[in-house]
Amino acid sequence: MKHRTLFAQRVRKLRKAAKLSLESAAERGSITGNFWGDVERGNKVPSLDTIVAMAKGLAVPPNVLLLLEREEDPRDIRKRIDSLLTKCSPQQLEMVHRIIKVLLEP
């Protein structure tokens, strides 16, 4: 996936998580709604100054917008985990259980 597409998805996801309309986020960042929308659709590449303005519009530090790892759907991750677990021996399942318990329980 292109970096532009990952950036666009990240901006849209953060905006929706903040429960902001495209127009209100753009206004908060002092940029036009049309440009913001073009960025979210992957049609425009923002300058560094615009990335900083978009971060201001979303009330996040600019570096948060640049975390461009592909974010996977939790359902897909569960399916992959289930697939791995079905192949485990009883001893392996016990070990996985112990590891998960250490990671998730306080």
Would you tell me how many other CB atoms lie within 10 Å of the CB of residue 65? Answer: 18
Tell me the torsion sign for CA atoms 65, 67, 68, 71.
Answer: negative
Which residue ranges make up each domain of the chain?
3-65, 74-104
pLDDT digits (tens, 9 = 90+) for 49-74: 999 999 999 999 999 888 876 666 77
Q: Is the pTM of this model over 0.85?
A: no
Residue numbers of the chain with a pLDDT score lower than 50: none
In CATH terms, the superfamily for domain 3-65 is lambda repressor-like DNA-binding domains (1.10.260.40)
Q: For residue 61, what pLDDT is reported?
A: 93
Count, residues in the chain: 106
